[in-house]
């Protein structure tokens, strides 16, 4: 007789997952903070939504930084991640806040993903083993078909939340800064990626889509070459660097969070004559446009290669 305490076999669960219909799920991850995960998640999702694609962001951060990017930090409907935790606890479908922007829904993050999540997940892990890492995917599955693009913003140095996201994602994108010391963050997310794909086989379909340079001078090509070497040293020769990068402009970055607006929304204000928006917004907006297009094009290309 099987023990009543035995965890369900991961393989049985895995067999029922329609991976082929989940190739629209992108995760931004890095073991280091401050490298652009939240900024790029919000702005890439914003670009997708603006181009007419039904888009979902899942904010997996206890800091809930997506709220700052989109300006709903103090909204009365911001539950600080309580709904997400409740879904994870019960296995119920995620309940996004709809139309935070046109075509853009958000599963809210926030403080509930701190200690409250830690205690709950510890228990789940003890009961289910690695299978517990599939919980976010299970909550996402019933609503995933409603979206053309799904973006997961993830925290640094929280292996449980990172693994939940890695188990749900088809593509991992790693933003990095060129300010040195990138190795630790890269090595950490690289290890978690390997755990999910090769060690536990929870998500054999995830692929590293590429590494994105964030907050850098556009013409510092020798620095960029140096970062590329660093990335390939840690993640392997085949690690892809995106051609587009996100340029440095602190004044726009500050205004984004002060006004709670996406970069393209600030660019619109500048075009409409608002001189308090720095001119550098135009370049940053075009960086996000270029990167988002490149990211989607590369995912399509890799998917075609995999199917061939
Ligand atoms: N283009 C930019 N140039 C300079 N700083 C930026 C730019 N975009 C965002 N920032 C700032 O960089 C910091 C880290 O970004 P964030 O997206 O929060 O990183 P992470 O999510 O990896 O912790 C934030 O303070 C943000 O305001
Ligand atoms: Mg963040």
257 lines ligand 1 (CB under 6 A): yes
Query: Which residue is associated with the tokens 């933003």?
Result: 175
Q: Output the pTM of the full model.
A: 0.94
Binding site membership of 283 for ligand 1 (Cβ less than 6 Å): no
Q: In the numeric block, which tokens belong to residue 236?
A: 């392997």
How far apart CA 37 and CA 250 sit, in angstroms, is 16
- For residue 126, the 8-state DSSP code is H
Ligand having the closest approach to the CA of 29: 1
Give me the chain's average pLDDT, please.
92
Regarding the beta carbon of 38 and ligand 1, being less than 6 Å apart is answered: yes
248 lines ligand 1 (CB under 6 A): yes
CA angle 251, 257, 260 (to 5 degrees): 125
Whole-number Å distance, alpha carbon 36 to ligand 2 midpoint, is 7
For ligand 1, atom 6, the nearest C-alpha belongs to 253
Q: Which atom of ligand 1 is nearest to 249's Cα?
A: 3
Rounded Cα distance between 222 and 232, Å, is 15
Hey, which residues does 25 pair with through a beta bridge? 150
Nearest CA to 155 out of 126, 125, 192 is that of 192
Q: How far is residue 25's CA from residue 182's CA, in Å, rounded to a whole number?
A: 25
Residue 97: count other Cβ atoms within 10 Å of its Cβ.
18
Q: Report pLDDT digits (tens) over 158-217.
A: 899 999 999 999 999 999 998 767 788 999 999 999 999 999 999 999 999 999 999 998
pLDDT above 90 as % of the chain: 82
Tell me the pLDDT tens digit for each residue of 254-278: 999 999 999 999 999 999 999 999 9
């Amino acid at each position: 007789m099987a023990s009543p305490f035995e965890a369900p076999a991961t393989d049985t669960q895995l067999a029922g997952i329609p991976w082929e219909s989940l190739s629209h799920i992108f995760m931004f991850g890095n073991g280091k903070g401050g490298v652009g995960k939240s900024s790029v998640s919000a702005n890439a999702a914003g670009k997708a939504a603006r181009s007419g694609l039904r888009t979902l962001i899942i904010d997996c951060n206890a800091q809930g930084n997506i709220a700052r990017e989109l300006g709903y930090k103090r909204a009365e409907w911001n539950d600080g991640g309580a709904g997400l935790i409740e879904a994870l606890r019960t296995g119920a479908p995620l309940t996004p806040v709809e139309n935070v922007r046109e075509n853009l829904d958000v599963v809210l993050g926030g403080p509930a993903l701190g200690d409250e999540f830690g205690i709950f997940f510890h228990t789940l892990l003890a009961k289910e083993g690695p299978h517990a890492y599939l919980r976010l995917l299970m909550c996402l599955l019933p609503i995933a078909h409603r979206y053309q693009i799904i973006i997961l913003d993830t925290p640094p140095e929280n292996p449980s939340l990172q693994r939940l996201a890695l188990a749900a994602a088809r593509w991992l994108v790693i933003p990095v800064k060129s300010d040195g010391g990138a190795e630790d963050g890269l090595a950490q997310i690289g290890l978690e990626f390997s755990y999910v794909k090769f060690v536990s086989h929870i998500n054999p379909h995830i692929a590293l889509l590429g590494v994105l340079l964030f907050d850098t001078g556009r013409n510092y090509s020798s620095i960029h070459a140096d970062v590329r070497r660093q990335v390939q040293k840690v993640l392997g020769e085949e690690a892809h660097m995106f051609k587009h990068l996100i340029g440095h402009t602190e004044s726009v970055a500050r205004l984004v969070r002060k006004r709670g607006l996406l970069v393209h929304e600030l660019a619109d204000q500048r075009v409409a004559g608002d001189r308090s928006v720095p001119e550098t917004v135009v370049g940053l907006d075009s960086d996000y446009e270029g990167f988002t297009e490149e990211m989607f094009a590369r995912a399509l290309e890799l998917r075609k290669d995999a199917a061939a």
